[in-house]
Structure 1
Amino acid sequence: MIMDAVRSKKVFFMSECLVNQNIRAYGVGNMKGEGPVAELMNFLTTNGIGLSVVPCPEIAYEGLKRQACGKACYDNDSYRTICRNLAADVVNRYKLYLDDGYKVGGFICVNGSPSCAIDYCYCDKKGTEKCKGPGVFIEELEKKLAEESLSLKFLGFRAKELDDLLKKLEVIVKGW
């Protein structure tokens, strides 16, 4: 006999490097501690919220042994194709969640990343020039969401902005 498990049906999408900082590019320090960003994991766990990990597109493009660089290194057709394919997968998963009555709080992504930033990234090839706007993957994800007439809240993470992010998450959770 199959029994239905109790599920909160609450979830956030999250960039893979927030769950496993070991995959970050060489030359980029950990964001907060080692392994997962514990404060985020604790918040989600304490509130009974699941997370849907979005794989790092940079690994699909260059593997684990890659050097840190800026958005200009990834702004090419080959990488954008990888990002478009991943964006399609994320949107399909998002639609499945919505169709099954899940509450999706948004996508917790990584500000400063040439791929997964929402508010700002580093745009030059060396990754030293800060500029406003999203990384390559988030650009492609936003396009795919628009094609499907869907919206998804994006929440940028940086260690020095952790308290602000946790406050935003609390507001979202209280609104459920």
Structure 2
Amino acid sequence: MDLLLLTIGFLCMIVGVFGSFLPVLPGPSISWLGLLFLYFTHSVPNNYWILGITFVIMLVVTILDYLIPAKGTKRFGGSSYGIWGTNIGLIVGIFAPIPFGFIISPFLGAFIGELLYDSKNHQRALKAATGSFIGFLAGSFMKFVVCIIYLGLFLHIVWENKSNLF
């Protein structure tokens, strides 16, 4: 049973790292589940401090991931149309058959949203779309760093308890 939980936990870690870039998958949440599965094993002693601290970090990062692109759009002069365009672009980008659609589509969504808001001011629309793109990249980088730290923590805990697990 421990080996099954360890395998599921490791798969959650890998999916979490990929989820840090794909907007459909909540990367930090899935990585935290991987840590939780690891602590469900009988071979690894429970450490509620690690689980609690990593849970709080996961919550903060998840909330910031939704706020950063919107704040980036606002900071660069965007409106709620640009924010909605960014969110719609994220969803469309996942299903679009173009390479790196999940990176290009939020930018285009914000740009189109801002043009719908004010079709005469292309410069402001481009500036707001750039803010959205920078916010998306910052959020993705933050999620990636957290997921890599969780993966390193997972591997460290497995290494410390390898004699009990294997």
TM-score calculated relative to the size of structure 1: 0.25
TM-score calculated relative to the size of structure 2: 0.26
Q: Which has the higher helix share?
A: 2
Q: Which has the higher strand share?
A: 1
